[in-house]
Amino acid sequence: MLALTHRLQCRRTHLAKQIFTNISTNSPPPSLYPASQRVTFLYYLGRFHFSNNHFVWAARCLEEAYIQTPPAFVSHRTSILTYLIPANMLLGRLPSQTLLSRPEAMHVLTPVFVPIAQAVRSGNFVLFQHTLAAHQAWLLDKALLLTLTYRLRPLLWRALARKTFILTYVPSDADASSRKAATLELGHLLTTATYIQRRLEGWVPATPSFPGSRPPAGFQAVQHNGHGPNRAESSLRPPPGGPKKLRPNEGLVCGNLGITPEDIESTVGSLVHQGLMHGFISHSQQRFAIMGAKQKGSPVAAGWPDVWTAIMDRRYDEDVDWDTVPGWVKG
């Protein structure tokens, strides 16, 4: 176990693979070991799978380690939740208020993961980047920064597209009678994305909001069904001293690069391919058409499936046995 700890702390996880292979081949069942050793092993096995981007396996190991750790061991449960919460977030399962109010989460983890969960739920890139920057040192120390920075972006884009559709789509009786699919205009998504990119660069609303008013961040630009980069920029004004210089990971595409229609179409196509959006893109009409709205009861439910369900459905296409965790000897 000491050798395994050393390899994970040194970020040399490829050297830990042989250890887990030997354990799964030759080790007796975990039930023969003391509880402390079982939990420690499951914790490091979960971290190993997390570092290798196998988040389903990581979540299962870490969840079992958390369950087997008595509530009195607050610091141990904090260490486990440090990776269990982000593993589940990457699978579309956001932490509950009940979990985050427990002693092991309240002081260290809640300030980090509550705003990140809010950002993922609403597609708020501004809040997401602000939270990562505010807790950068801690996330880097826990080897979480890069994983959360890049792996959560599809879920943020999914939520952004969903909110844009909710804001702009107006159903009509003609659509129902002609059985036309509900659609999201990609131009509307381009507007919201451009607006958020400018906010990341430090642009501020051209018209100050009144006290007590809370317009949805990033969506004011399409309130009247206008779209396009000019529409987004018309509701903002440049910051004094010019736009903020963004690092590549801080912009929606890459740093200060502007958002193009090709970026939007490519992003939506990627989300469809991942199962995070359900439908097809009409390139000629620049629309995303939703499939299965009648069966699901609404275009929102049909076009944006539950993330966890979409990920579970992908395992059949990827031919991965996620029920068998490598390195975990059951019994």
Q: What is the pLDDT along the chain (331 residues), one digit of tens a residue?
A: 545 555 555 555 555 666 666 656 566 666 777 888 899 989 999 999 999 999 999 999 999 999 999 999 999 999 999 999 999 999 999 999 999 999 999 999 999 999 999 999 999 999 999 999 999 999 999 999 999 999 999 999 999 999 999 999 988 655 555 568 999 999 999 999 999 999 999 998 876 654 444 444 455 555 544 555 566 666 788 888 899 999 999 999 999 999 999 999 999 999 999 999 999 999 999 999 999 999 999 999 999 999 999 998 876 666 667 778 888 877 6
Q: What pLDDT sits at residue 324?
A: 83
| Dist. CA 233–CA 195, nearest whole Å | 7
pTM of the full structure = 0.86
Q: What pLDDT sits at residue 211?
A: 42
Q: What pLDDT sits at residue 157?
A: 98
Q: What pLDDT sits at residue 12?
A: 57
